[in-house]
Structure 1
Amino acid sequence: MGLEEFFQRYFIDPIKYNQGYNAVNTLVYSIILGIAVLLLHKMLKRMGIKVDERFFVALMPYIILGPLMRSITDIGLLPRTYLTVSPGGYFVIAGFAIASLLTVWRHLGPDEKLYPIYRDFGWVLVAGLLFIMVINWNRVSVRWEYFKYFLPALLVSEAVIWALSKKLELVRKNRTLFYTHFYDATTTFVGIQFFGFWEQHVLARTLMNLLGTPAVMYLEKLAVITIVVYVLDKFMTDEDPELINFVKLTVFILGFGPGTRNVLITLLG
């Protein structure tokens, strides 16, 4: 197999034919993500921007932007191209987020005013996508019955995390990440179990095929997030706390983004 055929089979065709992820592109995208996290952390350090609550709040509209663009693409309001579906769409959103941050920083530096201005610019981008949805609302079919399945499942799953946080310090210290990824697991479970959707990620898809139920997503999420935060909290205590915070922010985005995309896709048909 030549390089061009290899790239076509494992990277182009999965996007072109909506085949989901495979082991090869998952590994490559994971490596790219890891490198990007390290580079972005260094960039933020040089800019004098701390990864704290102010930064998280300012970044929130950009976190919403990704799943919103992906969902309105999947329901046909934006053309389906390599730049509007994952992973290309997330590279585009990351580009917007970084360009916006650099633009604001060049004018203000690491000033307190940077955070609200950066945040508001992100909300303008979100408003632009919402405007596209509003003017095409006649093409959207809302499944209100979605909440009949989603809300009870979400309450039960989050109650499990609440109970675990009372017993386990590791869960309690990182409960936002566990809550977020059980939210993501719930959107996957409901979408597949009750609305006929399918899983794109190779590990989750394999586990579902083996055990015959999308409920395995909860066990996968619990295992993966536990391992990640255990390594971060127990074996990386000598690392820069800002780097640890940025990694955890990335883990949050990897749960909140896909989960919100799943909600919008399923709800809006």
Structure 2
Amino acid sequence: MGLYEFFYEYFIRPIQENQGYNPVNTVVYAIILGIAVLLLYKMLKRMEIRVDGRFFKALVPYIVLGPLMRSMTDVGVLPRTYLTVSPGGYFVIAAFAIASLYIVWRHCPGEKLYPLYQDFGWVLVGGLLFLLVINLDKVSFNWEVFKYFIPALVIAEGAVWMLAKKVPVIADNSVLFYTHFYDATTTFIGIQFFGYWEQHVLARWLIDTFGTAAIMYLEKFLILLPVVWILDRWMADEDPDLINFVKLTVFILGFGPGTRNLLIMLMGG
């Protein structure tokens, strides 16, 4: 198998035929994500931008862009291409977010950076929402999703709340656990009640093995717990901005897919 055939087999065809992820592209994308996190962290340090509440608030619209674009692609509002589905779509959003941040920083450094960067992000979200509104004929809203989603979410987040009372490291990172249990809930509801399927390799194997998408809660917990333990205990002496940026990445990896799943179900994708 030549280089082109290898790339086509493991990276292009899965997107063309909607096959989901495979072990090869999963590992490659994970490596790319790790490298990107380190490079972006160094970029923020050079720009003297702290990874704090102000930065997170300004980043919110860009976090929303990814799942909104993906869900609009699945319902046919946007064309299905490598640049509109994952992971290509997230590369595009990341490029917009980074380029916007750099441009705003170059022209408005200091305190003015955050609100201007946030406003530009909301303009992009507004553009996508405008496209959605003028193409509502392609959307078949399914409000029945909430009948299953809300009770399951209350139970899942209640479990996190109880665990946070007993385990300090969970209490210190409760937002991450709430976010990833929200993601697990959207996966569980979509697969268990609406006939969707899981794209990720490990999660797909676990669901097939145990026969229920409820296993996603355990998977999320068993992956997230050691991650936050390492960040808070083993890496306690590292730069707080690095720890915060890694946690921000973990948050996005839960909020983005979870919101995408919910929007796709609601819009009948």
**TM-score, structure 1 as length reference:** 0.99
What do residues 228-247 of structure 1 show as CA deviations (whole Å, max 9, x unaligned)?
10111111112111100000
**Is the partner of 1:31 in helix, strand or coil?**
helix
> Residues 1-269 of structure 1: matches in 2 within 5 Å?
1-109=1-109, 111-269=110-268
Q: Distance in 1 between matches of 2:137 and 2:18?
A: 25
1:164 Cα deviation after fit: 0.1
Q: Distance in 2 between matches of 1:207 and 1:231?
A: 24
**TM-score, structure 2 as length reference:** 0.99
Segments of 4+ moved more than 4 angstroms: none
1:3 Cα deviation after fit: 1.6
**Is the partner of 1:101 in helix, strand or coil?**
helix
What is the root-mean-square deviation of aligned Cα atoms in Å? 0.6
What do residues 250-269 of structure 1 show as CA deviations (whole Å, max 9, x unaligned)?
00000000000000000100
Q: Structure 2 unaligned runs (5+)?
A: none
Q: Distance in 1 between matches of 2:86 and 2:223?
A: 21
Q: Distance in 2 between matches of 1:236 and 1:32?
A: 22
Q: Distance in 2 between matches of 1:56 and 1:22?
A: 32
What do residues 121-166 of structure 1 show as CA deviations (whole Å, max 9, x unaligned)?
0000000000011011122111011000000000000000000000
What do residues 1-33 of structure 1 show as CA deviations (whole Å, max 9, x unaligned)?
222211111111111110000111010000000
Q: Distance in 2 between matches of 1:137 and 1:116?
A: 31
Q: Distance in 2 between matches of 1:125 and 1:108?
A: 19
Q: Distance in 2 between matches of 1:227 and 1:129?
A: 37
Q: Distance in 2 between matches of 1:209 and 1:144?
A: 28
**Is the partner of 2:111 in helix, strand or coil?**
coil
Q: Output the amino acid matched with 2:223.
A: V
**Is the partner of 2:78 in helix, strand or coil?**
coil
Q: Distance in 2 between matches of 1:102 and 1:68?
A: 23
**Is the partner of 1:112 in helix, strand or coil?**
helix
Q: Distance in 1 between matches of 2:3 and 2:121?
A: 39
What do residues 79-108 of structure 1 show as CA deviations (whole Å, max 9, x unaligned)?
000100000000000000001001100011
Q: Distance in 2 between matches of 1:239 and 1:23?
A: 31
**Is the partner of 2:99 in helix, strand or coil?**
helix
Identity value in percent: 71
1:114 Cα deviation after fit: 0.5
Q: Distance in 2 between matches of 1:27 and 1:240?
A: 27
